[in-house]
Amino acid sequence: MLWVDKYRPKSLDKVLVHEDVAQNLKKLVTEQDCPHLLFYGPSGSGKKTLIMALLRQMFGASAEKVKVENKTWKVDAGSRTIDLELTTLSSSHHVELNPSDAGFQDRYIVQEIIKEMAKNRPIDVKGKKGFKVLVLNEVDKLSREAQHSLRRTMEKYSASCRLILCCDSSSKVTEAVRSRCLNVRISAPKEDQIVKVLEFIGKKEGLQLPPGFAARIAEKSGRSLRRAILSFETCRVQQYPFTNNQVIPPMDWEEYVSEIAADIMKEQSPKRLFQVRGKLYELLVNCIPPEVILKRLLHELLKKLDSELKHEVCHWAAYYEHSMRLGQKAIFHIEAFVAKFMSIYKGFLIATFG
């Protein structure tokens, strides 16, 4: 088992970061009925961990006995029936699913399937909780239509079912949904918190950590705890005992993006733009989300950029990130950003060096 899973805190009492949130959640479910919840925060901050711990708090250990189900749902959509394949993770008390997997058909999942699940009241064995919990991941990726139907579902079946929504950014969730939930913001853990966790794991695994090593990993992780633990384990596999100047292996796609950035800085021409497009395709094929690519690319470019250009470049990155969201094919927009950057940068080079 990966360390990330192995050292995942199982109960709300054992969490190492966000203790305050955990305690509040515990109070919430023990003292009174639980409202709909919306967890949001950057990736790797511990949303899932908290949700799992919360479920355990609500239903006891049986919430951990889950089974994976891959089922094809037949949804009646007006004149035709649509087959939707959906993977769910369920225990006797909760169902977890990713409605956005269905792409543009996600509204059928929300309208029909979730309704179906929400309608069926669980057989209440101990008379403890009269509801079922639905955990919906990646709510921010849902289309607008799907979010609208989600709103209705939330109201209609609130007697028998609680929704726990989970997403990276609450800004992409509609107001209506947000206002129906108790919003729980999970911030990214601070670096010293990450160091604390890494040291805890190191102690449990019986590893010798050179001073400052955990801090380096934490710094590299970009305040993502999962990322930090993953690279910690990678380092362990690559070289042990740790040395202080050991290289922390970066993710391969990140290296690739920085390669692209270097290409862009080196030459600004349509031909180069075309080459860059090829490399971007490579990333997209590997399912790296285009937003992540764009963000990372901007990050890499800004590193090498003169400060007077930074503002403008950021502006355009934001502009094309927005149009990417409106649009359909990400490559059009990423490429437009790259072209714009090239054009700005070339103008700058000519102006300064003639």
Partner 1 sequence: MGKRETIVLSSSEDDGDCNDNDFASKSILKYFKQPKSGAASVPRTNTKGPIPKKARISSSRSHPGKSSNPFDEMKEFCEDFGEGFTGFKVSAGHKRDNKELWVDKYKPRSLLDLSVHKKKVEEIKIWLEERIKTKNNNHYNHVLVITGLPGVGKSATVEAIASHLGVTVYEWNTPTPTIWQEHIHTTNAGLRYMSKLDEFENFVEKIRKYGLISSSLTKEPQKKPFLILIDDLPVTNGKISYGRLQRCLHLLVQYVCVPTIILITDYGRSDTADYTSRCWEELQTSLQNAGAFKVAFNPITANSITKMLSRICREEKLKTKAEQIDAIAKASGGDIRNAITSLQYFNLKSNSKGIFVNSNCLDDGYSLSCGRDETLSLFHALGKFLHNKRETEKATTSDSLKEEFTRLPMKMDVPEKVLGQAHGQARPIADFLHENVLDFVEEEGIDDAWVVASYLSDADSLLASLNGIRSRSYEAENLIQSTAASVAVRGVMFGNRHPLSSRWHAIRRPVMWQVEQSQWRNKKEMIGERCVGGYNGVSLSDLSVIATEWKPVSKWLGGSMVDNNDCDLDHFEEICDDDDEIEDW
**Euclidean distance between CA atoms 258 and 14, whole angstroms:** 38
Judge whether 36 and 158 are in contact, CB under 8 Å: yes
Pick one of 281, 310, 315, 349: the residue that binds partner 1 (CB under 8 A): 281
> In the window 166-205, what residues touch partner 1 (CB under 8 A)?
none
Which CB, 158 or 272, lies closer to partner 1? Answer: 272
Strand partners, 70: 87
| Of residues 6, 36, 39, the one with CA closest to residue 22 | 39
Among 34, 93, 96, 198, binds partner 1 (CB under 8 A): 96
CA pair distance 248, 198, nearest whole angstrom: 14
Q: Rounded to an integer, what distance in angstroms lies between the CA atom of residue 65 and that of residue 46?
A: 21
Shortest reach from residue 61's CB to partner 1, in Å = 12
Residue whose CB is less far from partner 1, 181 or 257:
257
Binding mask 123-142 for partner 1 (x = CB under 8 A): --------------xx----
| Half-sphere exposure of residue 319: CA atoms within 13 angstroms, side-chain side | 12
Q: Which is nearer to partner 1, 102 or 181 (CB)?
A: 102
| Element at 132 (helix H, strand E) | strand 132-136
- What is the nearest approach in angstroms of partner 1 to the Cβ of residue 32? 25
Site string for partner 1, 76-95 (x = CB under 8 A): ---------x-x-x------
Q: How far is the CB of 324 from partner 1 (least distance, A)?
A: 8
Q: Choose between 104 and 200: whose C-beta lies nearer to partner 1.
A: 104
30 touches 55 (CB < 8 A): no
Q: Does 101 bind partner 1 (CB under 8 A)?
A: yes
Nearer to partner 1, 159 or 287 (CB): 287
d(CA 267, CA 291): 24
Any contact of residue 43 with partner 1 (CB under 8 A)? yes
Q: Pick the binder of partner 1 from 92, 115, 335, 348 (CB under 8 A).
A: 335
Residue whose C-alpha is closest to residue 99's, from 68, 108, 181: 108
Q: Does 309 bind partner 1 (CB under 8 A)?
A: no
**Are 164 and 136 in contact, with CB atoms under 8 Å apart?**
yes
Collapsing DSSP states into helix, strand and coil, what is residue 248?
Answer: coil
Rule CB under 8 A: choose which of 31, 159, 266, 271 binds partner 1. Answer: 271
Residue 200 or 274 having the CB closest to partner 1? 274
What is the dihedral angle through the alpha carbons of 48, 220, 5, 49, rounded to the nearest 10 degrees?
-20
| Range 202-231, binding partner 1 (CB under 8 A) | 226-227, 230-231
Mask of contacts with partner 1, 49-78, x by CB under 8 A? --xx-----------x-x-x-x--------
Of residues 250 through 269, those in contact with partner 1 by CB under 8 A are 251-253, 268-269
CB of 247 to partner 1, least distance (A): 12
Number of residues that bind partner 1 (CB under 8 A): 72
Q: Starting from the edge strand earliest in sequence, which strands make up the sheet with 37-40, in order?
A: 67-77, 80-90, 94-97, 132-136, 161-167, 37-40, 182-185
